[in-house]
Copies of this chain bind each other. A is one copy, B any other.
Amino acid sequence: MGAIYETKRSFMKKFFYPLSIAVFGVADSQRNLAKNIVSNCRDMGFKGDIFPVGRSRGSVNGIKIITETDELPAGIELAVILVPAPYVAETLDICGRKGISHTIISTAGFREYSGKENRFEKDVLAVVKHHGIRLIGPNCIGVICTNSGLCTPFNPLRAKRFKKGRISLVTQSGGVTVQAAHLYSEEHVGFSKVISIGNKLDLNEIDYLEYLMDDEDTEQIHVHLESIEDGRKLIDLARKIDKPIVFFKSNVSVTSAKIAKSHTAALVNDDRIVTGAFRQAGIVRVKNIREMTVCAKALHLPPLSGDRLAVISLSGGFSVILGDACEEYGFKCPSLPRDLLDEIESFRRGGVVRMANPMDFGDVHSIEGLTFAVEHCLKLDYIDGMVLALFYDPEIAKLLGQGSDDTQQMLDFLNATMSAYNKPIALSFLSERQYIEEYKRMSPFPVFNDPVESIQGLRTNRNYWKKI
């Protein structure tokens, strides 16, 4: 890790943690979009100075709009530019003269529109070369960084709702950026940074991955791209990164190729080559955004080192469904020791369900019974991980004298047991959506949306660690 590398790292950091920003293109009018960049940053708690710049006097979020660029102070660390395409180059020139070397160009209307390098783009390239400016975009919504509060999308977001987490996402599309930010937050996996990279006129996926590979706030790197600039370089880099990389490559069909080109100037890559190269580099490939959140959960759990699972469900029907899913995804459910099953059966109430693996816990309404079973199954040396589908109903819990404290204790117990044995427990709840959401919020580890998804998650975890 030489000096150049360190210099580049600290250079890149200012795109995410700038001490001050200028926003170009702001107006105090209802339909102005750039003013939302100011309010999004404020909403998400960005603490640095914000300097809105525009052509007409006024103020946004209580901050005066600067109309004479001479009034801009020196030392601004990042500029976000949302002025019409013909004015982008001259705005960059102002940035250069003010010593601003980091810019996000949100403006669209470059090569994605004309299908080739156009005049505006040529002018932009000339100016950035002259001043030594680096840029994200154009045709993007920039950066959302939950750690610094920087939030540069120009659509009004309820940015306070974004959940801080340890996943960073690089995405080519602004729409996907926003949808993913919502989804990762709703799924309680959260995110550290989301970067909308647009046309990649200057910085591209390689630059972002190089930064994120050592970013201490980033535990997993997720990527959504419509085109890969330099496949060989990407694969070489991915091999060096010891964080999970989850990749959603869209633009894989003839139908989408023409759209992608006019959307972010993306060219289609040969999908078979992509698949093979990804496998070699240990990249987890997914097919949609929802699957990315399942991977986020799965790869946060301890590693699954084999195929042998103990499965406990609080419903016979779901035990059967889980047994099918285990087999479909290449898992085995080994028989459990008879004396252990006998001990577990002794917690039963009705005595009508026989224990096996998958285990129907339907008539064991006992937290003690469940914790006993979980711990004693997970410690078996021929069990690599567990699947738990708990039928939870607050009315029944009340009936049994249990409250939310008991649920919290149970979740904490599962978390501690996972850590103690360093084996994953894939947990889901059979309940109404609102209660499932409540447990997701309460749980110190990821909760899946349904039993089948939990096994899909374990498959990802296993394949990642076994490098399948």
Contacts and interface: CB of A to CB of B under 8 A. Distances in A.
Interface of A: 30-31, 85, 108-109, 112-113, 155-158, 161, 171-179, 182, 186, 224, 226, 250-260, 262-264, 266, 288-290, 313-324, 326-328, 332-333, 350-354, 356, 358, 360, 362-363, 391, 393, 395-396, 399-400, 430-433, 450, 452
Contacts of A316: 173-175, 259, 262-264
Instruction: Name, among A109, A172, A250, A360, the residue most crowded by chain B CB atoms within 10 Å (CB to CB).
Output: A250
Contacts of A399: 30-31, 156
Contact of A253 (B113, B256, B258, B327): B327
Contacts of A173: 315-318, 320
A111 B361 CA distance: 18
B262 A354 contact: yes
Given A251-B324, A256-B327, A324-B255, A352 B175 contact: no
What 4 pairs across the A-B complex have the smallest Cβ distances?
Answer: A173-B317, A175-B315, A256-B323, A263-B316
Contacts of A354: 113, 262
8 contacts: A156-B393, A171-B317, A179-B430, A226-B317, A253-B324, A256-B319, A257-B323, A259-B323
Contact of A323 (B172, B255, B327, B362): B255
Contact of A327 (B255, B260, B352): B255
Contact of A175 (B290, B351, B362, B432): B362
A321 B172 contact: no
B182 A358 contact: no
A327 B255 CA distance: 7
Contact of A396 (B155, B161, B177, B360): B155
B262 A360 contact: yes
A468 B111 CA distance: 43
A173 B351 CA distance: 18
Given A31-B399, A255-B326, A255-B358, 9 more contacts: A155-B395, A173-B318, A175-B313, A176-B315, A256-B324, A256-B358, A257-B323, A258-B356, A288-B321
A352 B109 contact: yes
